[in-house]
Structure 1
Amino acid sequence: MAETHVLFVEDDDVIREATQLALERDGFAVTAMPDGLSGLDAFRARRPDIALLDVMLPGMDGVSLCRRIRDESTVPVIMLSARADSIDVVLGLEAGADDYVTKPFDGAVLMARIRAVLRRFENAGGGAAGADPGDRGGRAERGLLVFGDLEVDTEGMEVRRGGVPVALTPTEMRLLLEFSSAPGTVLSRDKLLERVWDYGWGGDTRVVDVHVQRLRAKIGQDRIETVRGFGYKLRA
């Protein structure tokens, strides 16, 4: 089996070298770059399986690099941020990142996040756990769930809105599958973190909020309803 290839873009020499060694010891193949421009070149040359991007990079910052990568690929992206409360976290998620890790980070936490994101990417075609395409408010036929002009093909992993294909990242697809499996049912942010992001511990609910915003922009702003104090639900 081929090694999982990680693109790691970090301008701090010590962090870059130490993290590269840790990733390689854990069985990953690593391409490490010190700035955003060389990181973009490396991405285009190697097409990695996952990208780890520091937010603060010379030449091209990590948020801009994430946008450029997302314009070309649905490859999983994890942002590395020096501050958990930084606006850069939200900007990175809005740019298309799947998750983020706060620096300084524990190596075991980083590896767990990487493997969780890779599982989402690899299993995006497997459907949502516990999905029941029965009579829950949408029309279902052979894996096709229909909610108004929104069609979710749970077998082909395709989404169409008004007959037009909608491009979703694997994380966005997993999120939509969770909503589609129980239309009209309120799903809490913690429940979505557990089911979509594989968080077995408390996570940052901003990850959920930003992904819901991104999903709404693609499938319709009024399709997913906010239930204040509880979470979100897909309008049946």
Structure 2
Amino acid sequence: MTATIALVDDDRNILTSVSIALQAEGFVTRVYSDGEAALKALVDNPPDLAVLDVKMPKMDGLELLRRLREKSQIPVIFLTSKDDELDEALGLAMGADDYIAKPFSQRLLIARIRAILRRTEALAAPVGEEPAQEVQPVLERGPLTMDPARHKVTWKGDTVTLTVTEFMILETLAQRPGIVKTRNQLMDAAYQDDIYVDDRTIDSHIKRVRRKFRQVDPEFDAIETLYGAGYRFSDE
């Protein structure tokens, strides 16, 4: 079944170019130029996923997501200003599934959309019925539990909310505790389809993951940095 993606942005150029790129990948698209116009449509006729810009007139993306979450749990990706951690933190706290900083690669956006839709499909599969794609088993490493099918992470029983990218990076590290993963290896896991990103982007993701875990456990130190080599996960 063809997935429908809603795009909400006051930049007409972004709406047009991203819509064309998504349609070329087989998606159906709906476009909205402001949050007020989008809200009713997203509630009355929910798409499979929505991409929301944060900075918009009338109703910004954060307010749109807040009001949307009162009535719908459709997956949401935020488009944020570069390095705007406040927007990211607020959006994830209100229920966004991932965020991408502008300017962004359309290939990266499409990869993130596909990753979220795969996880949504697995989560929606009826109990006892296997989803269309093979689902990885729950991963347990010491106090860490990761459920890829449900995109759920807990540390010592407390939930830690990660974006899709952060989840993939942590999963790659936790699959082989004690083994050092280079930035390139982590990029390959998190950014598929030959998408190029600066390797320092991985450092930023690791920083955010650590911060999120330390919000539930100030003593969290399971992700170790090996300067000049990469990162490793310790379950000791």
Same fold (TM over 0.5): yes
Unaligned runs of 5+ in 1: 104-108, 129-141
Determine the structure 2 residue equivalent to 1:132.
Answer: none
SS class of match (1:115): helix
Determine the structure 2 residue equivalent to 1:12.
Answer: 11
CA shift at 1:8, angstroms? 0.7
- In the superposition, relative to structure 1, how do residues 144 and 27 fare at CA in structure 2: closer, same or farther (>3 Å)? closer
Determine the structure 2 residue equivalent to 1:77.
Answer: 77
Aligned residues: 210
CA shift at 1:156, angstroms? 7.2
8 Å CA contact 2:145, 2:153 repeated in 1: yes
CA shift at 1:37, angstroms? 3.9
Provide Cα deviations, 1:38-71, integer angstroms capped at 9, x if missing partner: 4444444444333333343113434665677789
* Larger CA deviation: 204-213 vs 53-62: 204-213
Cα distance in 1 for partners of 2:37, 2:79 equals 17
Trace 1:42-61 onto structure 2 (pairs within 5 A): 42-61=41-60
CA shift at 1:203, angstroms? 0.2
- In the superposition, relative to structure 1, how do residues 193 and 42 fare at CA in structure 2: closer, same or farther (>3 Å)? farther
CA shift at 1:161, angstroms? 2.5
1:178 aligns with 2:177: no
- In the superposition, relative to structure 1, how do residues 167 and 19 fare at CA in structure 2: closer, same or farther (>3 Å)? closer
- In the superposition, relative to structure 1, how do residues 199 and 222 fare at CA in structure 2: closer, same or farther (>3 Å)? farther
SS class of match (2:146): strand
8 Å CA contact 1:76, 1:121 repeated in 2: no
Determine the structure 1 residue equivalent to 2:128.
Answer: none
CA shift at 1:225, angstroms? 2.4
Trace 1:1-236 onto structure 2 (pairs within 5 A): 1=1, 3-17=2-16, 19-24=18-23, 26-62=25-61, 73=73, 75-77=75-77, 79=79, 86-88=82-84, 90-94=85-89, 95-96=91-92, 97-102=98-103, 109-110=105-106, 112-124=107-119, 144-147=139-142, 149-153=143-147, 158-198=152-192, 200-205=194-199, 207-216=201-210, 217-218=212-213, 220=217, 221-236=220-235
Determine the structure 2 residue equivalent to 1:135.
Answer: none
- In the superposition, relative to structure 1, how do residues 93 and 21 fare at CA in structure 2: closer, same or farther (>3 Å)? same
1:152 counterpart letter in structure 2: M
- In the superposition, relative to structure 1, how do residues 113 and 31 fare at CA in structure 2: closer, same or farther (>3 Å)? same
- In the superposition, relative to structure 1, how do residues 144 and 98 fare at CA in structure 2: closer, same or farther (>3 Å)? same
SS class of match (1:102): coil
CA shift at 1:195, angstroms? 1.0
Cα distance in 2 for partners of 1:206, 1:7 equals 31
- In the superposition, relative to structure 1, how do residues 11 and 119 fare at CA in structure 2: closer, same or farther (>3 Å)? closer
Cα distance in 1 for partners of 2:170, 2:144 equals 11
